[in-house]
Structures are given as C-alpha cells and as structure tokens.
C-alpha cells in the first residue's frame, strides 16, 4: 500500500466523525475544554448511553482522549486542529446556504 493510500483511508475514516449531527454537537461542546459524559449529555440533550457510544466512536478514531477521575470519565480533543477543519467545513456550508438564499430571492417574481 502506498503512503498516499493509507493517508486517504485515514482521512476518510476521520471524516466519518462528521457524518453524525450528535457527534457534531458533542464536538462543539468540547470546544471550550474537557467535559464529562454527564455534562455532555446535559448540554446536548442526548441520552447518556447515546453520548457514550458517540464518544467511543470518536475516541477509536483518535479524535478524543479521556481521563478518569473516580467514577467520572472526562473527554477532550486530542488535537485542536480538528476544530479548525470542522470550522472550515461549517464556513463552506454557510456560504453555500447564503448563495442558495440569494439565488432563491433573485429567482422570484413579484
């Protein structure tokens, strides 16, 4: 396998994290620092078992790391550059929505 092939596989695997609205919510919540599973469940409104599943997916892809304090597990981003990529994707989406809105308004007849 060529190095580029391996990098492409890793890239695709990392991007799978962004395919879930719940994981996107969780990433946004972790923007300001680490949080426990319970804090993330409260902040997102998602059931705690569901949050735990999403955290496990992100941890398995190397996006998050965790630490345990007593019975509480805290999660944080492994690399803050993930948020930069995340933010660029959101900027592209905002620009697309704005362009589509302008097109829709320009295409109407009064």
60: exposed, middle or buried (C-beta count within 10 Å: 0-12, 13-18, 19+)?
Answer: exposed
Q: What is the pTM of this model?
A: 0.80
For residue 97, being part of any structural domain is answered with no
Give the domain extent around 62.
Answer: 3-78
Note the pLDDT tens digit of each residue in 1-33.
Answer: 787 898 899 888 888 888 899 999 999 999 999
Could you tell me which residue, 28 or 100, shows the higher pLDDT?
28
For residue 53, the domain's CATH number is 1.10.10.10
In a domain, 25, yes or no: yes
Q: What pLDDT, on a 0 to 100 scale, did the predictor assign at position 17?
A: 84
Which tens digits make up the pLDDT trace of 60-77? 988 999 999 999 999 999
- pLDDT recorded at residue 72: 95
Residue 87 lies inside a defined structural domain of this protein: no
What are the residues whose beta carbons fall under 8 Å from the beta carbon of 79, sequence distance 6 or more?
63
Q: Is the pLDDT of residue 98 over 60?
A: yes
Assess if residue 106 is contained within a domain: no
Question: Which of 91 and 2 is assigned the larger pLDDT?
Answer: 91
Whether 110 has a pLDDT exceeding 50, the answer reads no
What's the structural domain count of the chain? 1
- Other Cβ atoms less than 10 A from the Cβ of 88: the count is 10
């Amino acid at each position: 396998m060529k190095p580029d092939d391996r990098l492409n596989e890793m890239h695709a695997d990392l991007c799978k994290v962004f395919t879930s609205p719940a994981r996107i919510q969780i990433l946004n919540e972790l923007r300001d620092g680490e949080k426990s599973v319970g804090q993330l469940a409260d902040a997102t409104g998602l059931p705690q078992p569901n949050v735990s599943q999403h955290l496990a997916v992100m941890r398995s892809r190397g996006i998050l790391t965790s630490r345990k304090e007593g019975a509480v597990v805290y999660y944080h981003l492994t690399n803050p550059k993930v948020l930069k990529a995340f933010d660029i994707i959101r900027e592209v989406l905002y620009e697309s929505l704005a362009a589509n809105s302008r097109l829709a308004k320009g295409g109407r007849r009064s």
